[in-house]
Amino acid sequence: MWLAQPGPKYPPTKGEVWPKPQIEVKEKTFYIFNPSQFKVKILDQTCAILTDAIARYSYIIENKLGAKTRDIEPLTLLSLSTNNDTYFKGHLNELQITLTSPCEEYPYLDMDESYNLTVSSSAKLISSSIWGAVRGLETFAQLFYLSDDRNEIQVNETVIFDFPRYKHRGLLLDTSRHFITLPNILKTLDAMAINKMNVFHWHIVDDQSFPYQSERFPELSERGAYDPSMIYTKADIERVIEHARNRGIRVIPEFDVPGHTGSWGNAYGGMLTECYENGQVIGFGPMDPTRNTTYKLLRDLFKEVQNLFPDTYFHVGGDEVELECWRSNPKLIEYMKVNNLTASDLHALFMRNVIPLLAKTTMPIVWQEVYDEGVSLSRDTLVQVWKYNWITEMINVLRTGHRVLFSSSWYLDALGSEWKDYYAADPRQMVFDVTGNETLLADIVGGEACMWGEMADDRNVINRVWPRASAVAERLWSYQDSMRRYKLSRAPSEAYHRIEEHACRMIRRGIDAQPPSGPGFCVV
Amino acid sequence: MWLAQPGPKYPPTKGEVWPKPQIEVKEKTFYIFNPSQFKVKILDQTCAILTDAIARYSYIIENKLGAKTRDIEPLTLLSLSTNNDTYFKGHLNELQITLTSPCEEYPYLDMDESYNLTVSSSAKLISSSIWGAVRGLETFAQLFYLSDDRNEIQVNETVIFDFPRYKHRGLLLDTSRHFITLPNILKTLDAMAINKMNVFHWHIVDDQSFPYQSERFPELSERGAYDPSMIYTKADIERVIEHARNRGIRVIPEFDVPGHTGSWGNAYGGMLTECYENGQVIGFGPMDPTRNTTYKLLRDLFKEVQNLFPDTYFHVGGDEVELECWRSNPKLIEYMKVNNLTASDLHALFMRNVIPLLAKTTMPIVWQEVYDEGVSLSRDTLVQVWKYNWITEMINVLRTGHRVLFSSSWYLDALGSEWKDYYAADPRQMVFDVTGNETLLADIVGGEACMWGEMADDRNVINRVWPRASAVAERLWSYQDSMRRYKLSRAPSEAYHRIEEHACRMIRRGIDAQPPSGPGFCVV
């Protein structure tokens, strides 16, 4: 029977963490936070990343938990006199932070993000890495909540031991189909930090526009950007990387080749293949794989990009190459004939030529087609799986000794998909269910939620990504389950309530998240 | 073959009107707009609605057509020296407005919205009604565009004769599932005016919350609103009505009964039916149709609401009544037995009791279930069709002499639906295709796009509604086609380009519309 339910569909929790920590013991006993009585003490190593994070989170705890009491009608209040509450244990006096190793400069794939956190009158955060300390501070801030009468900031006595389940927890943002301004990219990084995501995959250029401003090849954005105002300068990119670094987030650029390069052609038309139909040129297709000058340009451009982006990984794309165009072009038909190659071989040839253009210390990431075309890839290469046959594909990639990034189930441009749909997918679980083989699983290093930009622009991108990407964030961080070795995929019912608090938390911190599951409200 | 297409998927038009005027003849010849040389002359009747509209639209033409030239690289410009252009006809000197009847105070169902507009060096807007004049000013403003070098504001020589195809072109906004703040309601009205929509259907309360602040029954919102800050005061509502009136938009309140009333129960629990399972009360259902006090409260509340809202129509809901709850309640079981009634009869009884509570001059609108339950309805009643069997339902309603509002195909909460999906539905066409009967069609007085609030809150509601509701707006305004008597439903290909301009137009006027169909950009 359908009952009339006044109020929110899923009343939010209070002081619950998203993504859920691996081990968390929470008491009913609680402390009151009073900023004038509270101090943060750094007991061991420190650096600017840590002190900046402390300043950020102190501000959040003090100001971003929702509006305190205003003119609320008395009858709507649960009148709670805190000091008489049997669970009240006094004031929170301090947070002691023990960072046992010197800070690292940039986050990286194998970084340590674990931390221990104990909340009592003197709270303790212990980590052997700056990245773990940053994650622990986020968790610490999430434990606070307003009392029922909205007069006081409370935090429960809690012990947390936490670490991520997957190393690579990414978000792909497409800034080519629609231009996304710098403030929204920085905001996206803020939201990623709230969700403990650690890789910003910047799908910076594509067919439609080329907003990356190159020093070596300025014509690319001069002619390829939608508008002169819609570009990313070197200073913009440095600012993104710095903002990300401070939050333990890697920034990986993608320059997708040889397909998805229409906008390159505005400046360098000769790079692209002319596509033919009935003997007539009907337009442009992928880069021409037979032109040396193209590889020279890519080498020089990639060099510049690698100098700018400190991360070891670089995404060279390789997806959705329109082989039909290559098959229609007289010059390429001749080339394939002479060299006894198929169009598919041409794609492999192109990628085989492009990957070595990267520096020896740079590791490639490719979309799954590059693997599928049979290009021999180094052990370091990450293969990003995004198509429909994902379980078979992952198993194949893993069995040939390569590593997997999973994205197939996490396309945020599916506007009808809800957070719970994204939550249901767990790549290790899927592979384990089919193979029963546990040793393969470690090579699924993580995954990425993908915000393709066809229908997401500067005005709605934040709302489209959050909190739906939060489901991916929790899937990739939480639940090395003990019942079943790899966690049942369905979101637990408590998560429906917890994500409501989490969405309100993001909103209070300036991230315009959409309603997770239905009717409700946030007090901002 | 999939070609690499740099740039927007559908390049926007320049100076094309949405919704499309009925008759529009546009020349290639154009005029330049220079605010210092331009005057608006009122030649006949006038009033504050007209002078306010003139001020609004003058500001828009001058300031809201996009950024003028900044540091644009010369090579990206189509260098156009306007004054040497053979199509250049000089400056636009004035707009003469001839309103031939005195202004009316409030818009209404049968109001006249037609106008004639001629753009030459001395433009002329002629209407026999203030509402037509307001529509004509919107059209006038939409004809202007920036020159290719973005230096000048141009407008083409144009003749327009325009009027709406359907009288009732509405948008339903649900402010119960999520609270929508006053600024966003006013913004929604602004957007409706840009789209020539003329009815704001305010689904103000529902199960989840009761934000309407009643003077007579203040407990309803005191206990039923999500939060004391989330209410609409009398002053708020008066402001909405005034803002709407100035734009030729009617405001119709809906107080949905007897279902969807959970939040009423927070203050008046006795109004609701207790639902039973296995002899136990398991929660609350619809209003109890056998209690006199409920009807008394509704009579007094409706009286207050009718005094506040000037429109002749009032929506009493009547949808989705959980009859199972009535069938489970011992008191109602007894009542039905004694009176030889089914639960369905109880619903009819309830509506038969409620509709006469409205003033004699007030006309009811009901959801289709009320018609389906066999309640006898006056000829004035509008039956809003929203369920799956819409064609049969419309035909039935029309054949019994009642009038139809159509909504079934226009639910904006279907997040995966695009504007072109909404565009495809035309209620008169559907009925004509099945019946071949033209005389029935006039009684389909219009329709409404419905923004149910489960997943739409104050942060995303504007983006969710626009420009998807623009498709409904054009469907209801435009195309009394001559080829086929009732227009083929698919959006014409030119509309894909025109809605891109329209979305950018809304964005420049402060309405955060989402991308209509894919990659692109707006210069704001």
- Report chain B residues whose CB lies below 8 A from the CB of A2: 285, 320, 322, 324-325
Q: Is A283 on the interface with B (CB under 8 A)?
A: yes
Q: Is B209 on the interface with A (CB under 8 A)?
A: yes
- If you average pLDDT over each of A236-250, B80-94, B485-499, which comes out highest? A236-250
Cβ separation of A1 and B277 shorter than 8 Å?
A: yes
% residues pLDDT > 90 (chain B): 90
A/B interface, count of CB pairs below 8 Å: 214
pLDDT band at A75 (very low <50, low <70, confident <90, very high): very low
Chain A: residue whose CA lies nearest to B222 = A73
Q: Is the dihedral of CA A106, A112, A114, A115 positive or negative?
A: negative
A 441-500 → B contacts, CB under 8 A? 453-457, 459-460, 463
What's the start-to-end Cα distance of chain A, in Å? 34
A 91-130 → B contacts, CB under 8 A? none
Please tell me the predicted confidence (pLDDT) of residue B491: 87
Mean pLDDT of the region B108-121: 97
Mean pLDDT of the region A340-361: 96
- Cβ atoms A92, A108 nearer than 8 A: no
- Report chain B residues whose CB lies below 8 A from the CB of A7: 208-209, 226, 263
Range of lowest pLDDT (A73-77, B140-144, B218-222, B296-300): A73-77
Please tell me the predicted confidence (pLDDT) of residue B75: 42
A94-99/A39-42 β-pairing: parallel
Q: From the CA of B13, how many Å to the nearest CA of chain A? A: 16
B 162-191 → A contacts, CB under 8 A? 176-179
Q: From the CA of B443, how many Å to the nearest CA of chain A? A: 34
pLDDT, one tens digit per residue, over B237-250 is 999 999 999 999 99
pLDDT band at A116 (very low <50, low <70, confident <90, very high): very high
Please tell me the predicted confidence (pLDDT) of residue B212: 98
**Rg of chain A taking only CA atoms, in angstroms:** 25
Cβ separation of B459 and A275 shorter than 8 Å?
A: no
Chain B: residue whose CA lies nearest to A258 = B4
| ipTM score for this prediction | 0.94
Work out the burial of residue A338: count CB atoms within 10 Å of its CB; fewer than 13 is exposed, 13-18 middle, 19 or more buried.
exposed
pLDDT, one tens digit per residue, over A388-444 is 899 999 999 999 999 999 999 999 999 999 999 999 999 999 999 899 999 999 999
Q: From the CA of B435, how many Å to the nearest CA of chain A? A: 35
- Cβ atoms A193, A224 nearer than 8 A: no
Q: Is B512 on the interface with A (CB under 8 A)?
A: yes
Q: Is A149 on the interface with B (CB under 8 A)?
A: no
Domains of chain B: 23-65+85-162 (3.30.379.10), 168-508 (3.20.20.80)
Q: Is the pLDDT of residue A483 over 80?
A: no
For A34-180, list the strands marked E by DSSP: 39-42, 88-92, 94-99, 115-119, 122-127, 145-146, 153-162, 168-174
Taking the C-alpha atoms of residue B134 and residue B53, their distance in angstroms, rounded to an integer, is 7
SS3 A1: coil
Best CA proximity match to A106, nearest among A7, A206, A198: A198
Please tell me the predicted confidence (pLDDT) of residue B81: 53
Q: Which of A71, A223, A275 sits opposite B3 (nearest CB)?
A: A275
DSSP assignment of A315-359 equals EEE-----HHHHHH-HHHHHHHHHHT--HHHHHHHHHHHHGGGS-
Residues in chain B: 524
Q: Which of B257, B451, B507, B514 has the highest number of chain A CBs within 10 A, making it the mutation to test binding with A?
A: B514
pLDDT, one tens digit per residue, over B415-459 is 999 999 999 999 999 999 899 999 999 999 999 999 999 999 999
Whole-number mean pLDDT of chain B?
Answer: 94
pLDDT band at B73 (very low <50, low <70, confident <90, very high): very low
Beta bridge partner(s), residue A173: A202, A451
Chain B: residue whose CA lies nearest to A225 = B7
* Residue B320 annotated to the active site: yes
Cβ separation of A7 and B226 shorter than 8 Å?
A: yes
- Report chain A residues whose CB lies below 8 A from the CB of B208: 5-9, 519-520
Q: Is the pLDDT of residue A481 over 60?
A: no
Q: Which of B76, B261, B520 sits opposite A4 (nearest CB)?
A: B261
Please tell me the predicted confidence (pLDDT) of residue A82: 55
Range of lowest pLDDT (A56-60, B56-60, B339-343, B374-378): B374-378
Q: Is A401 on the interface with B (CB under 8 A)?
A: no
Q: Which residue has the tokens 């106008």?
A: B115
Q: Which of B4, B73, B515 sits opposite A455 (nearest CB)?
A: B515
Mean pLDDT of the region A120-143: 97
- Report chain A residues whose CB lies below 8 A from the CB of B262: 3-6
Q: Is B146 on the interface with A (CB under 8 A)?
A: no
- Report chain A residues whose CB lies below 8 A from the CB of B3: 262, 275, 282-285, 322, 325
- Report chain B residues whose CB lies below 8 A from the CB of A68: none
Please tell me the predicted confidence (pLDDT) of residue B479: 79
Please tell me the predicted confidence (pLDDT) of residue A78: 44
Q: Is B224 on the interface with A (CB under 8 A)?
A: yes
Q: Which of A6, A322, A324 sits opposite B263 (nearest CB)?
A: A6
Whole-number mean pLDDT of chain A?
Answer: 94
Q: Is B275 on the interface with A (CB under 8 A)?
A: yes
pLDDT band at A85 (very low <50, low <70, confident <90, very high): confident
- Report chain A residues whose CB lies below 8 A from the CB of B277: 1
Cβ separation of B455 and A285 shorter than 8 Å?
A: no
- Report chain B residues whose CB lies below 8 A from the CB of A222: 73, 75-76
pLDDT band at A486 (very low <50, low <70, confident <90, very high): very low
Please tell me the predicted confidence (pLDDT) of residue A72: 45
- Cβ atoms A1, B282 nearer than 8 A: yes
Q: Is A69 on the interface with B (CB under 8 A)?
A: no
Please tell me the predicted confidence (pLDDT) of residue A81: 53
Please tell me the predicted confidence (pLDDT) of residue B68: 79
Q: From the CA of B31, how many Å to the nearest CA of chain A? A: 26
Q: Which residue has the tokens 């610490």?
A: A140
Q: Rounded to an integer, what is the distance from CA B172 to the centroid of its chain?
A: 6
Cβ separation of A460 and B463 shorter than 8 Å?
A: yes
Q: Which two tokens stand for residue A162?
A: 């936490």
Best CA proximity match to B274, nearest among B336, B325, B321: B325
Catalytic residue among B304, B320, B322, B418: B320
A 25-64 → B contacts, CB under 8 A? none
Range of lowest pLDDT (A82-96, A470-484, B255-269, B360-374): A470-484
Please tell me the predicted confidence (pLDDT) of residue B70: 52
- Cβ atoms B277, B347 nearer than 8 A: no
Q: Which two tokens stand for residue A315?
A: 């995404």
SS3 A360: coil
- Report chain B residues whose CB lies below 8 A from the CB of A221: none
Q: From the CA of B408, how many Å to the nearest CA of chain A? A: 19
Q: Is the pLDDT of residue A57 over 90?
A: yes
Identify the H or E element spanning B54.
helix B48-63
Mean pLDDT of the region A337-354: 96
Q: Which of A178, A262, A414 sits opposite B4 (nearest CB)?
A: A262
What single-letter DSSP state applies at residue A267? T
Q: Is the dihedral of CA B382, B217, B450, B353 positive or negative?
A: negative
